[in-house]
Structure 1
Amino acid sequence: MRCFLRFLSSVLFLSFATSATSNFLQRESSLSVETDSDLLTSPDKTFTCGFYEVGENAYCFSIWFTNSKNRTVVWMANQDKPVNGRGSRISLRRDGAMVLTDVDGSTVWQTNTTATDVQTAELLDSGNLALKDPYGKILWQSFDFPTDTLLPNQPFTKNKKLVSTLGRGSYDSGYFSLYFDNDNALRLMYDGPDISSLYWPDPGSSMYQNGRTNYNSSRIAVLDEMGTFSSSDRFLFSAADMGPGVKRRLTMDYDGNLRLYSLNNLSGLWETSWAALTEPCRVHGICGRNGICVYTPQAQCSCPPGYEVTDPSNWNKGCKPKFNQTCSQANETKFLELPNVDFYGYDLNYSSESSFNDCRKLCLEDCRCEAFSYRLTERVCLTKNALFNGIRTPSFPGSIYLKLPASLETTEPNSLNGTNPICGIRGSEIVTGSPSMYIFTVYLYSFVSAIGAVEVLIFVLGWWFLFRGHGVSASVEDGYRALSSQFRKFSYAELRKATKKFNTML
């Protein structure tokens, strides 16, 4: 009976193979990197499987969306070890294993199905590559080994991770991941060369404040065909365009944000229908050691005064000091204030009800201290032994005070103007509210300080016309875009001077 089933499956495969495309690869057959037509295509033509070019003479055995503009990859077998553009092939061998070999015949990747009764490899409409026996039972599937993307109806369980790529246009494994932690909760983590840091959900809030629970007996999550994602830790969200008939993917992006995308069938482009973080700078590690994420209003990386970028082509390496970090005497040390800047974690000391001078003294007397954070309204002091996860945002009610040699010449803190965009994602845009509010506040300070009656009048009239044209729903973002070109930006020193002047008038 088994021999008959094998014969029947072989006949069925050959009938499919005579068509222009096939979703089957028969036992003892292979696909070559050199033959463009050596592809598997799902029956509904949504997905294609084959060799995908990732660099010059470098290919990965992959699955991608057939009709997306950039052939968006959803799975790779040999992500971190591409094969040669000549002589490489993927084979379904007689012993049941699917094996990827390089030009020299060496094995780069293979499935754990040796000595099994695998008969065919089949690309399903779901985007799942499945190895099946003659009875149709799945013995291995790509859904069990995700890379950076989760597809609808692909179970995400405790032993799986979504790992980002290293950067824009790169397919190497990166530093950000989505996974189930030991407390049964879904989390996003930065695991870089220097540090590991959890940043989503908000590490400063409790499990229940984040709408989660760890009192669950399983770790499983799934994105359904309607665009709803549900997890056993009670995390739940739905796509902005929730409904049937939309091609979607949930991707751990290289900038550390987890996003749900929907495919626009007309343009072939992806549109963001949900994102874990609305503020890109909330991602930890994005600007490396000593680096600060700033809004300009786009999210960008910058080095603080006294520091310089380590590698302009790779912000994961952060910033390096322009001085030797030694244990200096008090008269050889100065502190430079960075308003609204915070570095998350790596606290040497936490003190409440502390005065500024006491906080400064704690850092001054500790050779390990590189800076201290102080929040005047809360009288909270935190001394830092390392500067990671830097962010400048007007919502932070304190300042960072950098510990620097007194002899070091530094620029004003307004030099945190950003040098490298980090939030651009292929096929999507991120819209945030807080950066525009920050810029609006900066401009408002400059108006109040001493711009003059004429410019103030132009501003008021412009804003009135803007709201008249757009109605009450007009946003600060609209106002900023419409009017910002009419005024010059003021330096940090000018704003400080203007603010003091304004305060004396109140």
Structure 2
Amino acid sequence: MKKKKQIMDRPYCLYCCSIYYYLVAAITFFITYAPLNNAQPPSPSPVANLSTSWINTPSILINSSEVILKLTPVFNGSIDSRLMCGFYCPDINACLFGVVFFNWNNLFSPFYSFTVNDPQLVWSANRDRPVQINATLQLTGNGDLILRDADGAFVWSTNTSGKSVFGLKFTVSGNLVLFDRNDATVWQSFDHPTDSLLVGQTLFPGQKLTSSTSSSNSTPGLFSLTVQDYRLLGYVESNPPLPYFQSGLGFINYVKYDNGSFNGQNIPLASSSGQFIRLDPDGHLKVYESGELNWNAVVDLLTPGIGYCGYPMVCSNYGICSSNGQCACPDDANSETSTFRQISYTQPNLGCSLVTPISCSHSQYHTLLELKNTSYFYFNIIHTDKNSFLDEKIDLENCKKSCLKNCSCKAALFAYDSRKGCLLLSEVFSLINNEGMVENVTVFLKVQKSSTAPTNSPSKKSRQVTIMLGSSLGTFFGVFFVVTSCFFVLTKKQESEELDEFFVDQVPGSPTRLSYEELRVMTSNFNDKLGEGGFGTVFHGTLSDGTKVAVKRLNGFGHVKQSFLAEVETIGNIHHVNLVRLVGFCAEKSYRLLVYEYMSNGSMDKWIFQRHQELTLGWQSRKKIIMDIAKGLTYLHEECRQKIFHLDIKPQNILLDEHFNAKISDFGLSKLIDKDQSQVVTMMKGTPGYLAPEWLSSIITEKVDVYSFGVVVLEMLCGRKILDRSQPEEDMHLLGLFKRKAKAEQLLDIVDKYNDDMQTHRAEVVEMMGVAMWCLQSDFSRRPSMSVVVKVLEGFVDVENNLDYNITTPVVPRAITATGHQEDAIGDATPLFPSALSGPR
């Protein structure tokens, strides 16, 4: 029987019938380039004239460790350099313009395969804002090199317009250069490094290397390396940025990466396959050289100077690093209960978390935990007046008081020696065990003690009197409030529209504001309906430039205003490849509309819950979607200026574009949280079945999204809804079935039985169920953060092995329809129901 066609799981291979084809392909790739006009003959340093453009239309597919990468060459270096300048697309619609280092192998293998091993991005112009397919790079007639996204939006520029630029070239050493008629450099990529240095590159004052967030996320991370006052300094991004490495440069105020040396340290000479230095996401500065299959670290440049424990995140937040390389949590010797717990007992280097999160609204219960024989990386280097953040005017007691009074303060450090003074920390990185050494620093960690008072205490009695008095007064004021509220609603009804528009106008950085008439024309008078549900209807539309969009028209009054403002304020200010982009909005009179990018494949639920359809999602596609969702949530929780709790993660709110990239949508219930807040009190929101158990207490953290993510992952792996009334009663609730099968070690039984590809990869699917189980822990503090989930999916972290399988099976309410019949509430309980913003239903 013919198997079902698996979308997005077709292997990409570059096959050929003759060795001649590959010889031509290799020569073309290395020494030519493909501008749209003004083509130049090949040369050691390819050159482009003014008024030249390149479009990101990937022409090279690279199968690297089962990850398909797409490349659009702009310039190619020589065969010896193995460097290319162009568009690099590790994700199909998240491309970076930059310089890539390749490790070529098997050019003439017996099977005529053409492979590139482990490509390395060593410079990027738009590392924090990826572009899509059909993005354009243009060298204008005025000499400016400009990068625009596929929709024409400005992304990056060299800002060299009017500076006598004559052309653009790419040197053998990997330097992208704008030059004038005299071949003098006007602008060069070597002066704007990202996280890497190439042989021959110099780091001057005012320039810095900035690490990536992770191996799969090129956005700027925690660590930076810079030259300042004749010193090479390594910093961790905190408030303020703190140095963790320092090296004197003598009488020169720069550091150069020569072949064989860096900052006075000898390194192996670069082989013919290439070499580069990178500031890694963990703060290490390493020299990488090409091996047979991948790039190997040959030298770790900073470790000899600061040691293993000198890195700020070696044991992650609150972890204590010992000289033997072990990580542990702070221990409160004066308490019968633990103050800290390890995030992962099998991987102590992931750090520790507070058992009771610090709450700014309960600052009266804050106290300081003193750690003996403990230091901080900041005190491992010699400080000068210019890089010292110690307040020498504050004594020990006032240092502690200052931390307790400041809600954003998480720890107070006090030094006693020649660097005497106080340092307050808004974030606690790894600590260092100083056992056996001279103690010259005391560390005080802020912790939250229990707010429970003795039953017969004076404060308890006082509260009881207050409650009784408050109840009496509350009844009186309650009646008064109802009467005045009715009067207020009647008198202010006519002013509501003006107030709504005023509030919308106050949203900072909001997207394009459109008129209702523009949207009416754009949607052909709202005739092409894509979906409907709850308080919103979604229509297909087309912008004046031909771009397809999805227009959501909200229906309702008070709740609509709140959801509308939440959506515009949240998604209008953030940009990430795994979040649906808000193009514009309309707030005119009583009209409330939101305009999103068009997602041609609609919502995920239509692809995983529809059985017996010809086109379905295979294992590789589902695994990629799970990673996309995890990255999107990581961005919301950890990488925005404010934490964002989505509060309604479910398959209907996961949309798929034409390439089946997943993007999170529908931020109508989301909540923006200050960075120093760990939890928030709010009314219950979301969809039954996806709500975490702690919602019953109304005190939530970002872990409610982690729980919902776990439910969605489980649905994807099993190919069924969280509640399926077509199943026998004992199997109706997926969580109950999952718990039972897990205890019986029969998880293979619940892998999506209607998908041949899922059945083929049943063992891998069951491994992924471990990720879902970790996210579904009833105790929210035992769930991983979304950044840890991403590390698990990338293979860098293992799933916790002592999980609690007694997960709570939610009681699912039934909703009464207009016809009086009962229906399942799963997937249909949110105030905004655009289960899909676009695409086929």
Q: Same fold (TM over 0.5)?
A: yes
The 5 A counterparts of 1:161-240 are: 161-181=208-228, 183-192=229-238, 194-201=239-246, 213=250, 216=251, 219-225=253-259, 227-230=260-263, 236-239=264-267
Q: 1:52 to 1:327 in 2, by over 3 A?
A: closer
Query: 1:284 corresponds to which residue?
Result: 312
CA distance in 2, matches of 1:350, 1:158: 31
Query: 1:247 corresponds to which residue?
Result: 274
Partner AA of 1:157 in structure 2? F
1:370·1:384 contact (CA, 8 Å) conserved in 2?
A: no
The 5 A counterparts of 1:15-414 are: 15-16=41-42, 23-36=46-59, 38-39=72-73, 40-43=75-78, 44-67=80-103, 69-85=117-133, 87-181=134-228, 183-192=229-238, 194-201=239-246, 213=250, 216=251, 219-225=253-259, 227-230=260-263, 236-239=264-267, 241-242=268-269, 245=272, 247-264=274-291, 266-278=292-304, 279-284=307-312, 291-294=318-321, 305-307=338-340, 319=353, 321-322=356-357, 340-343=373-376, 367=404, 385-386=424-425, 388-393=428-433, 397=437
SS in 1 for 2:147: strand
Q: 1:195 to 1:308 in 2, by over 3 A?
A: farther
1:263·1:269 contact (CA, 8 Å) conserved in 2?
A: yes
CA distance in 1, matches of 2:186, 2:401: 63
Partner AA of 1:271 in structure 2? A
1:97·1:114 contact (CA, 8 Å) conserved in 2?
A: yes
CA distance in 1, matches of 2:366, 2:256: 54
Gaps in structure 1 of 5+ consecutive residues = 1-10, 202-209, 231-235, 353-358, 410-417, 430-506
Count of residue correspondences? 366
Partner AA of 1:138 in structure 2? T
The 5 A counterparts of 1:453-492 are: none
How far does residue 261 in structure 1 lie from its aligned partner after superposition? 2.2
How far does residue 62 in structure 1 lie from its aligned partner after superposition? 1.0
Partner AA of 1:41 in structure 2? N
CA distance in 1, matches of 2:159, 2:294: 35
1:99·1:110 contact (CA, 8 Å) conserved in 2?
A: yes
Q: 1:160 to 1:335 in 2, by over 3 A?
A: closer
Q: 1:56 to 1:137 in 2, by over 3 A?
A: same
How far does residue 13 in structure 1 lie from its aligned partner after superposition? 5.5
CA distance in 2, matches of 1:134, 1:35: 32
SS in 2 for 1:199: strand
CA distance in 1, matches of 2:415, 2:146: 59
2:103·2:294 contact (CA, 8 Å) conserved in 1?
A: yes
2:82·2:103 contact (CA, 8 Å) conserved in 1?
A: yes
Kindly provide the CA deviation profile for residues 451-492 of structure 1, in whole angstroms up to 9, marking residues without a partner as x. Answer: xxxxxxxxxxxxxxxxxxxxxxxxxxxxxxxxxxxxxxxxxx
Q: 1:395 to 1:31 in 2, by over 3 A?
A: farther
Gaps in structure 2 of 5+ consecutive residues = 1-36, 61-71, 105-116, 332-337, 379-388, 453-783, 797-841
1:343·1:388 contact (CA, 8 Å) conserved in 2?
A: no
SS in 2 for 1:16: coil
CA distance in 1, matches of 2:146, 2:185: 17
CA distance in 1, matches of 2:277, 2:82: 16
Partner AA of 1:222 in structure 2? K
What percentage of aligned pairs have identical amino acids?
22
Kindly provide the CA deviation profile for residues 100-135 of structure 1, in whole angstroms up to 9, marking residues without a partner as x. Answer: 111122221122332355444222110111223455
Partner AA of 1:388 in structure 2? V
How far does residue 59 in structure 1 lie from its aligned partner after superposition? 0.7
1:188·1:200 contact (CA, 8 Å) conserved in 2?
A: yes
How far does residue 224 in structure 1 lie from its aligned partner after superposition? 1.0
1:176·1:191 contact (CA, 8 Å) conserved in 2?
A: yes
TM-score of the superposed pair, with normalisation by structure 1: 0.58
Query: 1:204 corresponds to which residue?
Result: none
CA RMSD of aligned residues (A): 4.8
CA distance in 2, matches of 1:308, 1:121: 55
CA distance in 1, matches of 2:400, 2:284: 34
CA distance in 1, matches of 2:120, 2:175: 15
Q: 1:166 to 1:303 in 2, by over 3 A?
A: farther
SS in 2 for 1:67: strand
How far does residue 307 in structure 1 lie from its aligned partner after superposition? 4.1
